[in-house]
Chains A and B, each alone.
Chain A
C-alpha cells in the first residue's frame, strides 16, 4: 500500500530526534568544576556553595559510599558511563536573579524557546526554573508565602531553613540506598524544596523546569517536599535537554514526606535527548490517611531507570503511581513503581503504560511488598504495553513480596500491537495511516494524559505526535 508522505514532509522528526536540539554558548559560565570526581571536587562544590559543615560532611560520607557501592548488574546497559569524564558542578550565573529582566540574555532566550514565561503567565502559582546547577530565576506568589508555604531551591533552603532541612534531608533516601543516590548525595546541586504547613491546600500546581546545558555535565538535583498534616500540594516538573554528542548523566534524588491526612501529587514529564542516562531515585513516605501520587512520563534518554516508590507507613495511607514510557530507536526505558505496605489497611494502585517503537525497549519493573503485620492491604497493578513494530520490545518484571494472607494483590499485564482492524477503521474515516496510528497511541495514553495539568497534557500529546510522525508508511 502506498502512503501519502505529508507527515514526513511537514516535519522530518522521528523518534530519537530531539525537538529542542539547540544550546547556548557556554562562555558565560561563572564556574565549572574540572572533569571527574574525588574529595577535592566535592570540597570545592561545598565551598562554592558556602555550605554549613554538616552538609559538607554529609557529602563526603556519601562520596565514600559511592566509591564502595558496585554498579547495579540489573536493569539497563550502563557500560557507556564514565564517571571520571564528567563535570559535576557548573554555575551559570552569579546568583539568584530577582526578576525575569535580570536573567542573562542567552539564558532567557533558551527559556523563551521553551515557553517558560508564557506558562507562568497562565496559571502557575510559582516557578522555579533550574538552569544548569543553580536556580537563576524564580518567583513565588505572595499569598502562598503568607500562608507559610516555602518553595525555594534546595541550596537556599540549606541556608535559610537549616532546621527543617536537617530534620528530613537524606531521611527518606539515605546515601547508602544505592550507588546513584550516593553520588547525588555527594555532588547534589539545585532541586526544589517545598514545605506546606498544616492544613494549607495549594490550589495551583507548583512547577519547576529543568534543563541540562553543558556537554558531559551530570545534573544532580535534589528535591525535598514536606507536606504537613492535612495539607496538600501538586508539584510539577518537566525536563528537556538539548542534543549533545557525548553522554550525559542525570541522577536526581526526590524525597517526599506526606504526613497524616495530607496529599501530594508529583508530576514529571521527562524528555531527555537520547544520549542521557537518566537514573533517578524517588521515594515518598505516606502516613495515616494520606495520599501520595506519582505521575511519571518518560520520553527520550538513552537509558532511564526509575521506579518511584511509596512507603505506606500508617493505616489509611494510599499510594498511586501512573507512569508512561515511550522507547524509541536506541532507547531503553526501564521504569516502574514500588509500593511498600508497612502498615495494615493501606492501599496502592499502579497503572503503567509503555510504547516501544523503532527497536526501542520498554520494561516495566515493579515491586509490591507487604511487611508481616501489614494485613488488610490492597494493591492493584495494571501494565499495558503497546508495541508498534516487530523489532521493538516490551518486558514486564513484577516482583511481589507478601507474607500475609490477608493481603490482596492484583496484577494485570497486557501487550498489544496496533490492530490492522483499528487502522482500517480510522483510515476508512479519512485518516492517513500516520494519523490513525498517532490517534491510537494518543488514546492508549489518554488515561494518564488526562491527569496532567492542561499545559503538560498539550505538550505530552504534541511530543507523542512528533514521535509518531513519519513512523509508518
Chain B
C-alpha cells in the first residue's frame, strides 16, 4: 500500500509571527504535486516545517505519515521515516567529504535502528552505487571527494541535492525551488534527473516559479498559496496558466487573502522569502 503524507490545518509561526494559517494537503507516494505562489506566500515555510526546522513553530494542525503524527519528531527522525527536502540554499559543511557524508546518511536512512558507532554500509557496495547514480546525473565522480557544497556553483549545489535524493530514495521529496538561479542547461539536467527518480515509490512536492521543471515532471495537482493558505488546487493546466499570466487573476479571485498579503508586505521591511 502506498504511504500518505497528510497535512491538516497547519498553522506555523516564526518568532511568534504567524506565517502559515491553515494549510491542508495530501501527498501520496507516486504522486507529483506542484506548489506555486508569489514570494512570501509561505511555500518555503511549509517546506521547512515539514522537515522539522526548529525555528518554525507549529501552533496548530498536524503533519502525519500513514496516520501517525510527526509533529514532535526531530529532522533526523523525519528523514528516517522517508521525508526529504531538497534545500533552496544548501549549506556548506567544510571539511566533510561528499562520499563520507552520503555513506553516513544512506546507512542511517536504510537502517534507522542502527546505533551510533555501529558499522556503515560496506564501502565497496556504496562506492558502486554512488558511482552509478552520479553517472546517471552526468556528475563527475571526482565530486565525491570534494567537501560538501564547498566552492560549489549554484548548479552544482542543486545537482548535489538531486544526487542525495537519488541515494536516499525518500517516500516524500519536497523540492524547494530546485530550479532557481540556474541556467537553462542546468535546469534541464536537474529536471531530467528528477524525472528519472520519480516513480510509484516517491511522492514529490515541487515548489517552483518556473515551468521547465514541471514540463519534465507533470504534476497531477497544482496548489496555489497566498498569504499562508492554499487558495486553489487544480491540475497541470493551472501551473501553466500561472506561469503565463502571473498571480493577478488569483488575487482577484481571493480578495481577502490578497488584502492580507498586501498588509503583511507593508508591515515588513524585508520580504520574508529572499527572491532569487
Contact = CB atoms under 8 A, between A and B. Distances in A.
B104 interface: yes
Contacts of B74: 1-3, 427, 433
Interface in B63-98: 72, 74-80, 84-85, 87, 90-91, 93-96
B108 interface: yes
Given A10-B116, A435-B104, A425 B93 contact: yes
Interface in A16-47: none
B52 interface: yes
B115 interface: yes
A6 B80 CA distance: 15
A440 to B, nearest CB: 6
B11 to A, nearest CB: 19
Contacts of A432: 76, 116
A421 interface: yes
Contacts of B53: 424
A443 interface: yes
Given A427-B74, A429-B79, A430-B109, A439 B116 contact: no
Interface stretch (A164-172, A271-279, A306-314, A444-452): A444-452
A444 B95 contact: yes
A443 to B, nearest CB: 3
Contacts, number: 97
B204 to A, nearest CB: 16
B55 interface: yes
A428 interface: yes
A434 interface: yes
Given A428-B75, A431-B108, A443 B93 contact: yes
B93 A431 contact: no
A422 interface: yes
B164 to A, nearest CB: 7
Interface in A429-473: 429-436, 439-440, 442-447, 469
B166 interface: no
B108 A430 contact: yes
Given A1-B74, A3-B74, A435-B116, A427 B95 contact: no
Residue among B84, B91, B168 with the most chain A CB within 10 A?
B91
Contacts of B78: 428
Given A420-B54, A431-B76, A10 B90 contact: no
Given A428-B79, A428-B85, A430-B105, A443 B54 contact: no
A6 B51 contact: no
A239 interface: no
A140 interface: no
A7 interface: yes
A325 B91 CA distance: 25
A89 to B, nearest CB: 41
A173 B109 CA distance: 56
Given A428-B75, A429-B164, A6 B96 contact: no
A469 B117 CA distance: 11
A424 to B, nearest CB: 6
Contacts of A430: 76, 79-80, 104-105, 108-109, 112, 168
20 contacts: A2-B72, A2-B74, A4-B77, A421-B91, A424-B51, A424-B75, A425-B90, A425-B93, A427-B74, A429-B101, A429-B109, A429-B164, A430-B80, A433-B74, A435-B104, A436-B76, A439-B96, A444-B94, A446-B94, A446-B95
Those 6 A-B pairs whose CB atoms lie nearest each other, nearest first: A443-B95, A446-B95, A430-B108, A443-B96, A427-B75, A429-B105
